[in-house]
Amino acid sequence: MDRLQRYQALVRDWAPWKVINLNPIQRGGILSPEARKAIVEYADGYSVCDWCPPKTPRLDRIERPPIHDFYNDLATFLDADATRVVTRCREAKFISFLMLKRARGGRYVVVDGLAHYSTFLAAELCGLQVKTVPVGPEPEFRLDPEGYHTAIEAVRRESGELPTAVLLTHVDPTYGNLQPAREVAKIAHDYGIPFILNAAYTAGVMPVSLRDLGCDILTSSGHKSWAAPAPTGILALTEEMVRIVLQPSQHSPVKELALLGCTVPGAPLIGLMASFPHVVQRVQRWEEEVKKAEWLAQQLERIEGTRVLGQRPRQHHVLHVRSEGLHQIAKRHRKRGYFLYHELKKRGIVGIQPGLTRHFKLSTYGLSWEEVRKVATAFLEIAEQYGIRTT
């Protein structure tokens, strides 16, 4: 095949929406039908820029398509004073760290021990050191909010100053634990430190209020949790943080310095906008989504040697499964750890990372009860097929 033809062949010969996809980083990002249509309409790179106001050329001020209105509606939905769409959640964290360091100084940020690796990269790129708050032992790996108090005091002893910011991962990507945001926010504010909530796995899939949780800054991922195409991230701010994070450029005063002017035009932004009504509706069904996750966790634990790690009962849709039974099968199967992936795929189920059997993650978000039952049946059938006892 000609090298250029390979790129044309990237279109898959199977439609991902015709199978059950359990991938935790994809369930909340599956596009709405409206988004699929909209991104074709706005696929050209600068397709939203025709009506950019010539005197104040900035993405958030475009009214046709209604980007300006969307930013306001998004702020209302998140109970924030302002929002911006950036390329990714990690960029939103980087922007926050950078501008807070410029405004407040400091050499440290304090984050939870289950924070995503990109949190550490964002801090490192800003020249900030990270003090982590440890989590408890297995199987739940709970976070004690008082650990933030201890970490802040450790920073003060070591550096003679308070941290630049405190960050909490609202739901961690490893175990899917929903963390105590209000308690951590109070500790940060008692010290006068800005509180950042990384809501990559929560905002967009469940009800989240910036003010109710005590956030100064909220970051999220459009392509993880807002049924949007990549790359999209969300930055939500209080009025005080707007003055710090969205400072105008001295060179081009109409532009916001930390955003380097404009951020995400075209299909990713339009896809996010088109899915927004769908997102507003689906967060109202959050309790049902949690019930599905807990029910599946119970079914998986019927397989001998299998346990779902993290908080119980479940408070989020991401499940971290540890299965010694499936791992023992992998040791003697000719496909080794890939046997589980192939057995599930034969049953119309994908999303479990190929090669993993002892530890793997999955999500039920947005699946129907019929689909969740099909997933449970598949795992139980596979276990029985290979001689693993089930209860």
Q: Which residue has the tokens 């009860």?
A: 369
Q: What is the pLDDT of residues 28-55, one digit of tens each?
A: 999 999 999 999 999 887 888 888 999 8
Q: What is the pLDDT of residues 64-111, one digit of tens each?
A: 999 999 999 999 999 999 999 999 999 999 999 999 999 999 999 999
Whether the ω angle into residue 65 lies within 30 degrees of 0, i.e. cis, is yes
Q: What is the mean pLDDT of residues 150-164?
A: 97
Q: Is the dihedral of CA 331, 304, 290, 116 positive or negative?
A: negative
Domains parsed from the chain with CATH numbers: 3-30+285-385 (3.90.1150.10), 33-282 (3.40.640.10)
Q: What is the pLDDT of residues 268-293, one digit of tens each?
A: 999 999 999 999 999 999 999 999 99
Task: Note the pLDDT of residue 116.
Answer: 97
Rounded to two decimals, the pTM is 0.94
